[in-house]
Amino acid sequence: MNVYKLRANIEGVNENSKYEFQGYHFALADDIEKDFDTFDWFKGQSMKEVMSRYNLVLHPNTDAPKDAKKGDLAQNWTSLTPFLSPKALSVIQPFLNEKDELYEFKTIDDDTYTVMYVLNTVDALDEENSTVKRFRTGRIMNVKKHVLKSEKIQDELIFRMPHDVSRVYVTQPFVDKVVEAGLTGFRFIPVWTDEGELPKEIRT
């Protein structure tokens, strides 16, 4: 089994290359020049109450070039929250956990994306055998080398882990579905495998 971090392919392959796909951030509908950062920080809990209180739109990232393409997956920079095109939603929704939440938004140029909050959390990190950097409090700051408990994720397609709820992880069957469907704008960063050598990063 292979496990990847799910990211949007919204930045170049290296620092000298331009953006390939457009990214978005949340803005208040009546003040699109103001980033709504408070809302962006997803904490791994239901967003229903917050969603009921604000009128929000998706605003293109201002540092991306005008010729950046619109992919089937976009992303919020602050919280790494995935945004799905209608095509991506039709492919991915059948594989989501019943706990996960979907909210449809318009962009300021009237495109539609569905914000996907993955609430399915799996305690799969083997902290003892992983290489981690910690805060002084002992909480994990980041994971430099993942070692996962395969029995925890054998039936999972898309999930988060409690050490960092901002990251979305997917397994190989999810990646295969995205590639087979021809979805664009996805970036899969390999973090763990039980099949020997890590696979290569995949961008669509």
| Token couple for 58 | 């998706």
- Cβ 126 vs Cβ 105: under 8 Å: no
Residue 193 parent element (H or E): strand 186-193
pLDDT at 54: 78
- Cβ 6 vs Cβ 191: under 8 Å: no
**Distance in angstroms (rounded) separating the CA atoms of residues 27 and 47:** 16
Total residues belonging to the chain = 204
3-class DSSP state of 178: helix
Residues 6+ apart with CB under 8 A from 137: none
79, pLDDT greater than 70: no
pLDDT at 17: 46
pLDDT at 14: 46
The pTM assigned to this predicted structure is: 0.88
Of 196, 111, 113, 163, the C-alpha closest to 5 is 163
Phi, psi of 8 (to 5 degrees): -85, 145
Q: How many helices (H) and strands (E) does the chain have?
A: 5, 14
Q: How many structural domains comprise the chain?
A: 1
88, pLDDT greater than 90: yes
pLDDT at 18: 53
Res. 28 pLDDT band, cuts 50 70 90: confident
Put the strands of the sheet holding 24-28 in their side by side order: 31-35, 24-28, 56-60
Distance spanning both ends of the chain, measured CA to CA = 20
**Residue in this structure with the two tokens 């971090």, named with its chain if needed:** 5
Alpha helical stretches, state H, the chain:
37-40, 48-51, 86-92, 150-153, 172-181
**Distance in angstroms (rounded) separating the CA atoms of residues 185 and 116:** 15
Phi, psi of 197 (to 5 degrees): -75, 140
Res. 67 pLDDT band, cuts 50 70 90: confident
Q: Which residue range(s) make up the domain with 133?
A: 2-203
